[in-house]
Amino acid sequence: MYRLPLTLVLTVMLAACAASGSNPSEKRATIDDMRQQVLNEIYKNKPAVRALVNSSSGYATFSNVNINLIFIAAGTGYGVVVDNSNGAKTYMKMGEAGIGLGAGVKDFRALMVFETRSAMKRFIEQGWQVGANADAAAKAGDKGDAVGKEVFIDGVTVYQITENGVALQATVKGAKFWVDGDLN
């Protein structure tokens, strides 16, 4: 009875956890394209964020697929941290798990803006983030809408864009971000 939902969850998560491409160079290019798309969309919807990103120590963009089945939430994704002082990029992976009430699958992008170098360094080296999340999304391409808000946590401002998905959830989650050893 639970095999079909579990199989669906594992299939979606495995597909989402890797950037497309047959070699590291192509995977980095895919992640860099995603990074630019995220920045363009956020700048279009919130023009003031461009100045915040440009004056920050650095920023990160991530692509994530999140699944919530009744009481359990899980997600996986990939992204890149850009150091504004020298343009250096650190490619990363992410995974998240949580508990709470909800149902749905959501494909979203995130922009994290680091206020200080220490916040950026801590994120790259430790990568943990814990928080509560409540959101609603019903979106496919340009149709529909998603409710989300920017969040400020420990020197990092996080903006989220829902690409596609249907989700209604209230969860407590932990996310782990780590350096992708194959792409750096």
Q: Is residue 90 part of a domain?
A: yes
Q: Tell me: the pLDDT tens digits for 117-133?
A: 999 999 999 987 655 44
The number of domains in the chain is 1
Of 137, 141, 142, 84, residue with least CA distance to 114: 84
Is 184 domain-assigned? Answer: no
pLDDT tens-digit map of 60-103: 999 987 676 767 777 889 999 999 999 999 999 998 777 766 66
| pLDDT tens-digit series, residues 143-163 | 444 444 456 567 888 888 765
pLDDT, position 19: 64
pTM: 0.75
Measure Cα distances from 139 to 5, 62, 108, 179 in Å.
21, 19, 10, 30
Q: What is the span of the domain harbouring residue 61?
A: 3-179
Structure tokens at 165: 């998905």
Q: Kindly state whether residue 129 falls inside one of the protein's structural domains.
A: yes
Handedness of CA 125, 14, 20, 39 (dihedral sign): negative
Q: Is residue 68 part of a domain?
A: yes
Residue 149 located in a structural domain = yes
